């Protein structure tokens, strides 16, 4: 079995002492600074996880480039290693060789850490005829059941049972999966990705209707196609897949993270700043661009892959105006940006309404944002935001991150707030943002990671 040494510049024979991070780190933000400069976006976490799982479909080695260095990608690599795959890292590249797979049962403790851990059930079942995978974990933002996965795998000719806290599956005919036509009850991204991987090695043709259309689906389909699969229709609501007996590893570069792009656009807006961002998959963010432009932000496409957003009052001529959003599957407003947008809207003029239609529990950040002085009224999955504009800025506070995107909304609020903000539970945010404090510092933010506690009202010079 190979070793996984994430974010090392090169594997070597030297023994380098490891410096362990301090226990219970927090992010401390001295807010009120204007951001400026340029930020480079990392590879997409939401693409990297399924593509790492998809290497299990392939014989030989796959060389994945632009993989973000995150706790979630490290966990996915550990899941692959627990199956017998050899995983090596060289900077932002990860090489996965699956010729040594010895198990179809990944480590349950790792699978329980993230939603994406469950993706391996499709490739394992397709290539090896069986799989035993624990139930997935991840942020506590809703039920997110696996029934869509199970129905799809059964349609492809497998027997699937939930036993002893694991999903146990094997091909019904003793040979392999067979192509089928079926419709997903909901355009789930994870189910679409898992069933696409399984169908790529099923005998015959598969048609999946009401499929998710997210850009990450296109990225996974492109990787599989590089490996010899036949996938058509990615990015539409219907996938047409012709199974292949064998797929082979290939070299592939992960797409830029559109959610990270959106995060830094919102960071510039909430701090009334001007920054540039690249590389930007512009067409993947049309919904957010339209909303921010309508609010008063000036957004320019400086080049094919570089975007500039300005919310500087003297440039836009006024303060930002609030707006309404309703989250929906792509091309609708991304649910992953809903908590961050809520933080921005609390600083805009007027009353805004947010409706969350994807995850029923994605409002836990409201309580923490209220500690900054933000004003909300929440009823179920609908929140009314009473923005005050720059006339009444947010105030620094001590807050707790309980999930990835909600945690990032607290970071944005801290950037805009007067005084010091301490954000505990920053490990949740680390699951989705590479080199967060370094990138923010590069834009001029006063942000540090520490275990030191700052008394309320104390002024810290970053």
Whether omega before 232 lies within 30 degrees of 0, making that bond cis, reads no
Q: Please identify which of the residues 57, 139, 287, 348 carries the catalytic annotation.
A: 139
The first and second tokens of residue 17, run together, are 């002492």
* DSSP codes, 73-110: HHHHHHHHHHHT-EEEEETTEEEEE-TT---SS--HHH
Instruction: Say which DSSP state 366 is in.
Output: H
For 252-286, b where at least 16 C-beta lie within 10 A, e where not — what string?
Answer: bbbbbbbbbbbbbbbbbbbbbbbbbbbbbbbebbe
Cis peptide before 301 (omega within 30 of 0): no
What is the chain's length?
462
Nearest to 424 by CA among 359, 371, 362: 371
**7 catalytic residue (yes or no):** no
Helices (H), 97-188: 108-111, 121-128, 147-155
And the tokens for 390? 């720059």
Please list, in sequence order, all residues whose beta carbon lies within 8 angstroms of the beta carbon of residue 19, skipping any fewer than 6 positions away. Answer: none
Instruction: Provide the annotated active-site residues.
Output: 139
């Amino acid at each position: 079995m190979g070793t996984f040494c994430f974010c090392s510049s090169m594997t070597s024979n030297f023994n380098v002492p490891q410096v362990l991070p301090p226990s219970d780190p927090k992010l401390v933000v001295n807010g009120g600074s204007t951001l400026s400069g340029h930020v480079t976006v990392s590879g997409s976490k939401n693409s990297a996880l399924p593509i790492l799982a998809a290497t299990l479909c392939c014989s030989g080695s796959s060389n994945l480039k632009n993989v973000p260095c995150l706790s979630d990608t490290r966990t996915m690599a550990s899941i692959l290693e627990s199956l017998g795959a050899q995983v090596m890292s060289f900077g932002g590249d990860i090489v996965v060789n699956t010729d040594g797979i010895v198990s179809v049962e990944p480590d349950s403790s790792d699978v329980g850490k993230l939603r994406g851990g469950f993706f391996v059930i499709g490739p394992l079942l397709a290539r090896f005829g069986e799989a035993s995978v624990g139930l997935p974990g991840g942020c506590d933002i809703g039920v997110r059941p696996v029934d869509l996965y199970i129905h799809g795998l059964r349609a492809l000719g497998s027997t699937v049972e939930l036993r002893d806290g694991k999903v146990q599956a094997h091909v019904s005919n003793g040979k392999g999966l067979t192509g089928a036509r079926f419709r997903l009850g909901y355009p789930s991204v994870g189910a679409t990705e898992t069933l696409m991987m399984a169908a790529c090695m099923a005998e015959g043709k598969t048609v999946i209707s009401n499929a998710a259309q997210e850009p990450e689906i296109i990225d996974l389909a492109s990787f599989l196609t590089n490996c010899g699969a036949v996938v058509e229709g990615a990015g539409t609501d219907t996938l047409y897949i012709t199974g292949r007996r064998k797929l082979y590893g290939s070299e592939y570069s992960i797409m830029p993270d559109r959610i990270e792009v959106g995060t830094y656009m919102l960071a510039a807006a909430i701090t009334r700043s001007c920054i540039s961002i690249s590389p930007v998959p512009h067409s993947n963010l049309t919904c957010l661009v339209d909303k921010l432009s309508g609010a008063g932000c000036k957004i320019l496409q400086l080049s094919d892959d570089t975007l500039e957003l300005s919310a500087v009052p003297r440039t836009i001529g006024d303060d930002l105006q609030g707006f309404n959003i309703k989250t929906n599957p792509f091309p609708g407003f991304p649910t992953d940006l809903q908590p961050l947008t809520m933080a921005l809207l609390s600083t805009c003029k007027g009353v805004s309404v947010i409706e969350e239609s994807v995850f029923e529990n994605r409002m836990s950040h409201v309580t923490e944002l209220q500690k900054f002085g933000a004003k909300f009224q929440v009823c179920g999955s609908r929140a009314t935001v009473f923005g005050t504009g720059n006339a009444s800025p947010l105030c620094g506070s001590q807050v707790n991150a309980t999930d990835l995107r909600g945690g990032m909304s607290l970071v944005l609020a801290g950037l805009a707030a007067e005084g010091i903000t301490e954000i505990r539970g920053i490990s949740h945010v680390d699951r989705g943002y590479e080199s967060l404090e370094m990138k923010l510092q590069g834009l001029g933010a006063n942000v540090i990671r520490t275990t030191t506690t700052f008394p309320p009202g104390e002024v810290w010079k970053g």
